[in-house]
Amino acid sequence: MITTAWFIILSAMLTMYAVLDGFDLGVGALHLWVGKTDDERGRAIGAIGPVWNGNEVWLIAAGGAMVVAFPHLYASAFSGFYLALMLVLWLLILRGIGIELRHQIDHPLWRQAWDVVFCGASALLAMLFGVALSNVMRGVPFDASGEFQGSFALLLNPFALLGGVVALLLLMLHGAAYLAMKTDGAMHARAWRAVGVLSIVAPLGVILIFAASFFVRPDFFLNFQRWPLLWAAPILAVSAIVFLRRTWRRPPDARRERQVFTASAALIVGLLASVFGGMYPTLLPSLDPSVHPGLDITNAAGPRHSLRIALGIYLFGMTVVSLYLVRIYRVWRGKVPSGAAYHP
């Protein structure tokens, strides 16, 4: 029971990160196209400036939950995905310095250079997260002792690359919805049009990877047969995209912009809940179960006593973080006016 609770907590942490930092990544990947002028690109960064670093807390929290609850998963994943994780770390650093250094020198070439860095790092991060999740679904090679056996090139398989593209499209949709909610004028119009295009393309990508998952993990849907309540997750995702499209077709106003953003968030929640629901109780499958069965909530878990103590501490800490983030978003609600570039 306690290991199931930690599986849910870890899944929730990753989902919160995808929803909150997801629109940051989407804004970064889009802002060179949605923002045509230096002022507009500054407004795009200004829209996420007060919250982007706080959103990354959820990634740190997920890593901490993995260390505490499933140390064997942490050891195997971080050794097997070492190069990928180093790339993620450097891309996170590049995103941060792209935001923080952009305004330090008042020269167009300086700002344009950091805009390109911010855009490229954001897009690559979104793809890498999609590649990582796809490999977790597909499985990785283990030896008999449970050690990862493979290379970085092995992780770049067709299924994972498709997952990376789909993740990028979904987060760009999420970012476009956020920019449409936070901006006005010509920039708002371009963001709203991007929502319309991406709300068609991204679901098509989801359908493709859904079909491919039948070949990669034919047993993935057994949990949905065992526990029909899990169908609520894919139903939420489908309902969210239908609601988003219907709302987008109407003339935009503040209420509809919030609804579109909420729907894009619900789409991400529904898709990730479907993935985690289908994987339970597996954490990291094995490509060859005859060699090693893979890692699940039983063989990857830490000592029960430690899990019980950490559970109360973790829930208290995340409650405090959640209240803090709610306060920040309330303070910085509303549109970002022209000329309101982010200045830390």
Least confident range of 9-18, 75-84, 332-341: 332-341
Backbone torsions φ then ψ of 295, nearest 5 degrees:
-105, 135
Which pair of tokens denotes residue 290? Answer: 């005859």
What is the model's pLDDT at position 23?
95
Other Cβ atoms within 10 Å of 182 Cβ, number: 24
Q: Rounded to an integer, what distance in angstroms lies between the CA atom of residue 48 and that of residue 45?
A: 5
Backbone torsions φ then ψ of 81, nearest 5 degrees:
-100, 30
Q: How far apart are the first and last CA of the chain?
A: 45
What is the model's pLDDT at position 39?
86
Please report, rounded to a whole number, the percentage of residues in the chain having pLDDT higher than 90: 48
- pLDDT-derived band at 177 (thresholds 50, 70, 90) equals very high
pLDDT tens readout for residues 262-286: 999 999 999 999 999 999 999 988 8
Mean pLDDT confidence for 14-32:
94
What is the model's pLDDT at position 116?
93
Q: Rounded to an integer, what distance in angstroms lies between the CA atom of residue 103 and that of residue 81?
A: 34
pLDDT at 343 over 60: no
Cis check for the bond before 158: say yes or no (omega within 30 of 0): no
pLDDT tens readout for residues 284-305: 888 877 777 888 998 888 888 8
Sequence spans of domains, the chain: 2-331
H or E element in which residue 188 lies = helix 185-216
pLDDT tens readout for residues 207-250: 999 999 888 888 888 999 999 999 999 999 999 999 999 999 99
Q: Rounded to an integer, what distance in angstroms lies between the CA atom of residue 67 and that of residue 10?
A: 11
What is the model's pLDDT at position 22?
93
DSSP state of 120: H
pLDDT at 338 over 80: no
Residue 53: alpha-carbon gap to chain centroid: 14
Q: Rounded to an integer, what distance in angstroms lies between the CA atom of residue 227 and that of residue 218?
A: 17
Could you identify the residue written with the tokens 């609804």?
A: 259
DSSP state of 231: G
- pLDDT-derived band at 339 (thresholds 50, 70, 90) equals low
pLDDT at 133 over 80: yes
Q: Rounded to an integer, what distance in angstroms lies between the CA atom of residue 47 and that of residue 179?
A: 7
Mean pLDDT confidence for 193-216:
94
The amino acid at residue 123 is A
Strand ranges (E), 265-318: 282-284, 295-296
Burial of 232: CB neighbours in 10 Å, binned 0-12, 13-18, 19+:
middle
pLDDT at 120 over 70: yes
pLDDT at 61 over 80: yes
Q: Rounded to an integer, what distance in angstroms lies between the CA atom of residue 120 and that of residue 114?
A: 10
pLDDT at 29 over 90: yes
What is the model's pLDDT at position 286?
85
Whether residue 256 contacts residue 112, with contact meaning beta carbons closer than 8 Å, is answered with no
What is the model's pLDDT at position 342?
59
Please report, rounded to a whole number, the percentage of residues in the chain having pLDDT higher than 70: 97
